[in-house]
Amino acid sequence: MSSVSSLRTIQSHSVSEQVYETIRDAIINKKLEPGSTVTEAQLASTLGVSKTPVREAFIRLREIGLLQAQHPRGMQVISDDQESIETAWETREVLEAAAVYYAAERAAADDVNAIKSLAQRSLTAALDEDPLAFREADQKLHNRIWQASGNTEIARITENSYTLASALREMREPSPGFSEMCARQHVQISEAIERRNPPQARDRMLEHIKSVRKGRPSKSS
């Protein structure tokens, strides 16, 4: 198992959620290496918590697809094999397209303003070459779109799909200038939502997902 010494310290409140987020982020950021084995006992010891919140996190992460059963030794962190990549991105395309379509129809004024602001924030971060700020704005933007769809089930499963696809994406290097192109697509998506144009919002999102999937701008960009 790879070192997890860089995982953040768990606070006493909301232990289960923080353990889940810590392990999830460690997988996405490759602090837990793709294909490595993790166990409840090892992570509980590292994080200074009981096995119970780690076990709960493992169940959620397995449901998402970030962990795979590897009895009796523990769980295996997902690796970037071609089948996993294709499945994750095909699923994300379908879910994100549906979410943004409904968001363009149903988003409240506050949602629209927040989506526009987050899109611009992602562009600013990309131009500043600040990858951490870009990833944060990217996640918050997509999350706000899911919530603005008005469908809690779509929001839940789309978040899971986004998390899995993001982890796989981080395992590969994007082409130069990719973050800026991605951010400009965010702006286009936000503009389609503001115009209350569901078909255009869906098409912009599909173009965006296809670009992110390849790690470079789509040919139609």
DSSP symbols for 25-61: HHHHTTSS-TT-EE-HHHHHHHHTS-HHHHHHHHHHH
Q: What does the pLDDT read at residue 49?
A: 93
Q: What does the pLDDT read at residue 178?
A: 87
Mean pLDDT, to the nearest integer, of 100-105? 98
pTM passes above 0.75: yes
15-77 fold: Arc Repressor Mutant, subunit A (1.10.10)
Coil, strand or helix at 108: coil
Pick the CATH number of 82-214 from 1.10.540.10, 1.20.120.530, 1.20.1050.10, 3.30.465.10: 1.20.120.530
What average pLDDT does the structure give for the chain? 88
pLDDT score of 9 more than 60: no
Q: For 14-58, how does the pLDDT look when each residue is reduced to its tens digit (9 = 90+)?
A: 889 999 989 988 988 888 988 899 999 999 999 999 999 999 999
Mean pLDDT, to the nearest integer, of 59-76? 86
Between CA 15 and CA 8 the distance in angstroms is: 12
Question: CATH 1.20.120.530: which residues of the chain?
Answer: 82-214
Q: How confident is the model at residue 172 (pLDDT cuts 50, 70, 90)?
A: low
Question: CATH 1.10.10.10: which residues of the chain?
Answer: 15-77
Distances (CA, A) of 117 to 5, 53, 131, 177, 207: 35, 35, 18, 21, 21
Least confident of 149-153, 166-170, 181-185, 213-217: 213-217
**Measured between alpha carbons, how far apart are the two ends of the chain, in Å?**
41
Q: For 147-156, how does the pLDDT look when each residue is reduced to its tens digit (9 = 90+)?
A: 999 999 999 9
Tokens in use for 16? 């289960």
Question: Residues with Cβ < 8 Å from 121, sequence gap 6 or more?
Answer: 133, 137, 141
Q: Express as a percent the part of the chain with pLDDT over 70.
A: 87
